Amino acid sequence: MKFIKNFKIGNFKINNNKAFIIAEMACAHGGSFIKAKKIIDAAIKANANAVQFEIFDPDTCCIPGTDENKELHSVNFTINQWDKLLAHAKKKKIIRSIFAYDLKSLKYAIKKKVELIKFNSSDLLNIDMLNEVSKTNLPLTLGTGSSNLNEIGLALKYLYKKNKKIKIILMHGVQNFPTSPKNERINKIDDIKKKFNCNVGYANHTSGENFSSSFIDLAAIGKGISIFEKHITLRRSDKEFDYFSSLEPKEFKEYTKNIRFAEQVLFNDDGFKYTKSDKQYRIFQKKTIVASKEIKKGEKFSRKNLIFIRNMEKEGIPPIFFHKVVNQKAKKKIKKYETLKLTYL
């Protein structure tokens, strides 16, 4: 299987040496339409690339009558309200991702032509959901939390068979309200990347109160991750859904700032191509072969008239090539402390 790796989510090109940051609203709105709009605005001010909406039909998402079902009913929005929230995000020009928890919600997301779809790991092997999403060209972030490599492989093979042009991002991360940093198991990213030829992202579900936990994302960048997801809430003190692992707006802004800083350091695929900074450093630091005194035209080069020193003005011949210089004759008069060039030989 060879999945497409370079594709766009909205106007954002994945794998362009920039991090794609998703602000996961989930149910942090607590069923308040006004609060949901404020979270969208907060995600924009925090410089997130996308805001993620968690949409579900309580009665097809989980068994009716259960405590969870009742809770989901209490925070659910009408289709009309979702229409307005999606329109608000579109107007504000932030990428919209829908975390679809059931087939009805997925069909709604596809109908609304949002820029990104997400499945929880609970739907990793749900053929109803996989069949429906494979009919579209919408990018999909596929949760892998607590799934083994065989299960991930089964889902990918199924999707690939249905649509070889499907755009997949496997999302590593586990939500345990919150997840302990030691259980984030960032090294598993290496296993997933090695096993499957597709994009991999990281969803951080550690405690929002422990801001140091957000630095785990920097470790993920070191693993080559460029797609990130983190919960956002207006106030953890409101104790809405998933508040444990959520960042408040100012914290989220700092979180994105740290990732943007790290991407400058790590997201560079130029290898050993010299940058302007490299060239400046070389001129300043590298020792070269320099005339230790005035050298007359026709005079032979030797250690009596040449030294190895930093000239701090321009690059010259590295000392290791002295054997190519020694006993050669100068083609021109060379001033004291002038950097030797091959054209002078």
Considering the domain boundaries, does residue 329 fall inside one?
A: yes
Give me the residues paired with residue 309 across strands: 288
Q: How far apart are CA 55 and CA 77, in angstroms?
A: 8
Q: How far is CA 96 from CA 122, 155, 180, 254, in A?
A: 21, 24, 29, 21
Give me the residues paired with residue 28 across strands: none
Residue that terminates a domain, selected from 211, 243, 266? 266
pLDDT value of residue 320: 95
Considering the domain boundaries, does residue 7 fall inside one?
A: no
Cα distance from N-terminal residue to C-terminal residue, the chain: 57
- Indicate whether 98 and 148 sit together in one domain: yes
- Indicate whether 212 and 156 sit together in one domain: yes
User: How confident is the model over 111-132, as a mean pLDDT?
Assistant: 97
Residue 308, domain CATH: 3.90.1210.10
Considering the domain boundaries, does residue 201 fall inside one?
A: yes
Q: How far apart are CA 199 and CA 211, in angstroms?
A: 27
- Indicate whether 288 and 313 sit together in one domain: yes
Residues in the chain: 345
The strand pair at 8-9 and 12-13 is best described as antiparallel
Per the structure, the complete domain to which residue 327 belongs is given by 276-344
- Indicate whether 310 and 239 sit together in one domain: no
Q: How far apart are CA 36 and CA 31, in angstroms?
A: 8
- Indicate whether 113 and 201 sit together in one domain: yes
Considering the domain boundaries, does residue 147 fall inside one?
A: yes
- Indicate whether 151 and 290 sit together in one domain: no
Backbone phi and psi for residue 49, each to the nearest 5 degrees, phi listed first: -85, -30
Q: Is the pLDDT of residue 284 over 90?
A: no
pLDDT tens digits along 252-277 = 999 999 999 988 877 666 667 777 88
Considering the domain boundaries, does residue 1 fall inside one?
A: no
- Indicate whether 78 and 155 sit together in one domain: yes
- Indicate whether 48 and 150 sit together in one domain: yes
Question: Which residue is it, tokens 């794609």?
Answer: 20
SS3 labels along 103-146: HHHHHHHHHCCCCEEEECHHHCCCHHHHHHHHCCCCCEEEECCC
pLDDT tens digits along 21-36 = 999 999 999 999 999 9
Residue 222, domain CATH: 3.20.20.70
Considering the domain boundaries, does residue 4 fall inside one?
A: no
- CA proximity to 71, closest of 242, 217, 320, 231: 242
Count of structural domains, the chain:
2
Q: Which residue type sits at 308?
A: F
Q: Which helix (H) or strand (E) holds 231?
A: strand 227-232
Residue that terminates a domain, selected from 266, 296, 319? 266
Instruction: Collect all residues with Cβ–Cβ distance below 8 Å to 342 and sequence separation of at least 6.
Output: 317
The three-point CA angle 260-202-166 to 5° equals 105
pLDDT value of residue 268: 63
Question: Which residue is it, tokens 């960042």?
Answer: 247
Considering the domain boundaries, does residue 11 fall inside one?
A: no
User: How confident is the model over 181-197, as a mean pLDDT?
Assistant: 89
DSSP notation for 44-61: HHTT-SEEEEEE--HHHH
At residue 46 the predicted structure's pLDDT band, cuts being 50, 70 and 90, is very high
Secondary structure of residue 312 in the 3-state scheme:
coil
Q: Report CA torsion sign: 101, 106, 112, 113.
A: positive
Question: Which residue is it, tokens 């999606």?
Answer: 86
- Indicate whether 192 and 297 sit together in one domain: no
Residue that terminates a domain, selected from 233, 266, 299? 266
pLDDT value of residue 313: 80
- Indicate whether 240 and 285 sit together in one domain: no
Considering the domain boundaries, does residue 127 fall inside one?
A: yes
Cβ pair 109, 85 in contact under 8 A? no
Q: Is the pLDDT of residue 326 over 70?
A: yes
- Indicate whether 290 and 248 sit together in one domain: no
Give the whole-number percent of the chain exceeding pLDDT 70. Answer: 99
Q: Is the pLDDT of residue 177 over 90?
A: no
Residue 76 CB burial class (10 angstroms; 0-12, 13-18, ≥19): middle
User: How confident is the model over 320-326, as a mean pLDDT?
Assistant: 95
- Indicate whether 166 and 46 sit together in one domain: yes
